[in-house]
Structures are given as C-alpha cells and as structure tokens.
Amino acid sequence: MCAEVVVLRLGHRKGRDPRITTHLGLVARAFGAQRLVLAGDEDEELFAGLHSVSESFGGSLQTEYTEKPMAWLKNFVKTGKAVHLTMYGLPFREVIPELHNNVPLCIVVGGAKVPRQVYDICHHNVAVGNQPHSEVAALALFLDSYVESPPVFDDAKLTIEPNQRGKTVHESGD
C-alpha cells in the first residue's frame, strides 16, 4: 500500500493557465496522485472540470485551494516528503530510489515564478531532463516512475477498451 501522493501547483493564473493546470490535474489523477492543491488564483471552474472527469472515469481526485502555499508546504513536510520538479534539479531516476513510498509525498510543480524557499523546503529538487519543456510532461514521467502501478478506477462509469483502429467505450452495466 502506497502512502498518499499530492501535487501542489504553485502560481496558477486563471486567465493564462487554465488548460495547463487542467492537464496537470488530469495527469495527477491518471498517474496515481490522490490530491491536487492549487495556489495562485482560485479556480472553481477548473476543479469542477476535474471532478467531472472522475465522475465519468472513476476515482476521486481531491482538490483544494491554499492561499499560503509556503505555510502549507512547511506543514506538509513535518510528516511527509516533498520534491520540487525543476529543470535545474537532479535526475529524477536517481532520486526516486531514495524516496520511500510508505511516506506521503508532495510533488511541487512551479508556476511562472517559484519562490526561492521552495528549493530549500523540499527534500529534493528533481529534473525530468535539464531542458526547458513542460511541467505536465515532467509530472507524468515522475509519477509514471514513482507510482508502482497505474491506478485502477473500479467505480468508473466509462471504461475504455484498448483498440487498434477505433474507439471502444464501455458504460458500467454493459
């Protein structure tokens, strides 16, 4: 049994980042995180979109907003571990074996400006390649490597059956 995995998204900007943060939330859910904590702008619409995906495809990604992400993070690391995804960090595949997945983990995903404190509060600063690319890609690769196996959503209303040529969707009750 793995302990909780939380994604903390810093510096969300409602006008500018809606799709990026939605993708982060969907990646969090699909690759095995249980909770998304949003900082920056509040965004109920974003949360509603994520909940509607869980409603159809199962699972229950918890969402919450924090006005004070640094205080939130300092509190989290009293009992859990935190890693910060940054292109300046250490290779993630070298760091992950040092993490023990019986302890809650927070994965911090930066926004436009990441406070210096984040680099210090987190136990590890980890990079998914030292090139500029995408926090969505970084989160997916990190979770894919960290989480033992992808989550299975037993309560899904819609389930997709892999298909070489088209779309096969089962509705629960099929």
> Which residues lie near a second copy (CB under 8 A)?
16-17, 19-20, 23, 26-27, 29-31, 53, 57, 87-91, 119-120, 124-125, 127, 129-134, 136-141, 144, 150, 153, 159-169
Q: Which contiguous run of DSSP H or E holds residue 132?
A: none
Kindly tell me the sign of the dihedral angle through the C-alpha atoms of 92, 6, 100, 76.
positive
Between 166 and 173, name the residue whose CB sits nearer to a second copy: 166
**Bridge partners, residue 14, by sequence:** none
Between 66 and 151, name the residue whose CB sits nearer to a second copy: 151
CB of 11 to a second copy, least distance (A): 14
CB of 151 to a second copy, least distance (A): 9
How far the first Cα of the chain sits from its last, in Å, is 31
CB of 5 to a second copy, least distance (A): 15
Of 159, 160, 122, 156, nearest in space to 142 by CA: 122
